[in-house]
């Protein structure tokens, strides 16, 4: 199980310090559950100092696919690696929706992240219109195939997929455990086809979309749900810790 908190564009420096300290205290020893927090770029360093020596790992929310260059305002994989990131969220629906991210760009970012031994948390998921039109499975399949095009994986620890139906993100509308499992099973089949039984079965597939302490256990009980990517609830340390406990 893996539970990752996406802080999005929240927390100034002081707030990030307070939240990271509270997460460390509230989560305590998560046992076999892997836990990560993904603060905004400018707070990665200060959060790293607080979580160092604890079981909590650091992630970023995005990166550029080039290693360096004239890309004003961007941040690269080696930069994230140098400040202690283990994970990087790629292709989040907010990046696709507001910043024009494409499947092709996400694929390039994944390849670069793997080169620097960053673990990409690759987000896929359909919009409400796509679900209502009966296209949810086709959209997710296209996103997964495009993201993984030409991506070789030598270990199940190298990459994480997050299924995040766009209609469930920040809306309070969570997918039912059955809806989540149906899509996770589809993603599992694609991963097994692509990488074989051993790696395909062991890769983490997270669910994201209005996960809260009250619904986490039912979602995590599904056979192909291997944890969660948590937005809003990750900004409250007690809620985030309760979600981590639900993954036990």
Residue of minimal CB distance from ligand PEP? 231
Rounded to the nearest 10°, the torsion over CA 17, 18, 24, 25 is 150
**What's the gap between Cα 7 and its chain centre?**
11
Look up 164 and say whether it is catalytic: yes
Tokens read off for 161 = 């997929």
- Can you tell me the distance from the alpha carbon of 115 to that of 17, in angstroms, rounded to the nearest whole number? 30
Check residue 170 and give left, alpha or beta (phi > 0: left; psi -120 to 50: alpha).
left
6 is in an annotated binding site: yes
From 164, 224, 226, 239, residue interacting with ligand PEP (rule: CB under 6 A): 164
Look up 92 and say whether it is catalytic: yes
Spatial CB neighbours of 107, under 8 Å, sequence gap ≥ 6: 146, 147, 148, 149, 150, 151
200 vs 232, which CB is nearer to ligand PEP?
A: 232
From 88, 148, 211, 241, residue interacting with ligand PEP (rule: CB under 6 A): 211
The residue range among 124-132, 142-150, 180-188, 227-235 that interacts with ligand PEP, by the rule CB under 6 A, is 227-235
Cβ atoms of 119 and 166 closer than 8 Å: no
The one catalytic residue among 101, 126, 130, 164: 164
From 114, 209, 216, 225, residue interacting with ligand PEP (rule: CB under 6 A): 209
Q: Tell me if 232 contacts ligand PEP by CB under 6 A.
A: yes
The one catalytic residue among 92, 126, 130, 204: 92
CB of 161 to ligand PEP, least distance (A): 13
- Can you tell me the distance from the alpha carbon of 120 to that of 112, in angstroms, rounded to the nearest whole number? 10
Q: Tell me if 169 contacts ligand PEP by CB under 6 A.
A: yes
CA distances from 220 to 29, 176, 234 (A): 19, 11, 16
- Can you tell me the distance from the alpha carbon of 110 to that of 61, in angstroms, rounded to the nearest whole number? 13
Q: Tell me if 143 contacts ligand PEP by CB under 6 A.
A: no
Q: Tell me if 230 contacts ligand PEP by CB under 6 A.
A: yes
Q: Which of residues 6-25 bind ligand PEP (CB under 6 A)?
A: 6
Interacting residues with ligand PEP (CB under 6 A): 6, 164, 169-170, 208-211, 229-233
Active site residue ranges: 92, 164
């Amino acid at each position: 199980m893996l539970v990752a908190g996406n802080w999005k564009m929240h927390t100034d420096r002081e707030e990030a310090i307070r939240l990271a300290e509270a997460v460390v205290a509230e989560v305590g020893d998560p046992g076999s559950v892997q836990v990560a927090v993904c603060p905004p770029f400018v707070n990665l360093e200060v959060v790293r100092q607080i979580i160092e020596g604890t079981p909590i790992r650091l992630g970023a929310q995005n990166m550029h696919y080039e290693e360096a260059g004239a890309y004003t305002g961007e941040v690269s994989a080696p930069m994230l690696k140098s400040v202690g990131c283990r994970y990087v969220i790629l292709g989040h629906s907010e990046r696709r929706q507001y910043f024009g991210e494409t499947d092709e760009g996400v694929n390039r970012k994944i390849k670069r992240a793997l080169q620097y031994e960053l673990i990409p948390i690759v987000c896929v998921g359909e919009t409400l219109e796509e679900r209502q039109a009966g296209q949810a499975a086709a959209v997710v399949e296209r996103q997964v195939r495009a993201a993984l095009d030409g991506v070789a994986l030598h270990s199940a620890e190298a990459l994480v997929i997050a299924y995040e139906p766009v209609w469930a993100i920040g809306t309070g509308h969570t997918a039912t455990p059955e809806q989540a499992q149906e899509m996770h099973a589809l993603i599992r089949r694609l991963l097994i086809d692509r990488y074989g039984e051993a790696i395909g079965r062991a890769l983490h597939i997270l669910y994201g979309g209005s996960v809260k302490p009250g619904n986490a256990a039912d979602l995590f009980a599904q056979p192909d749900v291997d944890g969660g990517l948590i937005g809003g609830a990750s900004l409250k340390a007690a809620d985030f810790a309760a979600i981590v406990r639900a993954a036990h």
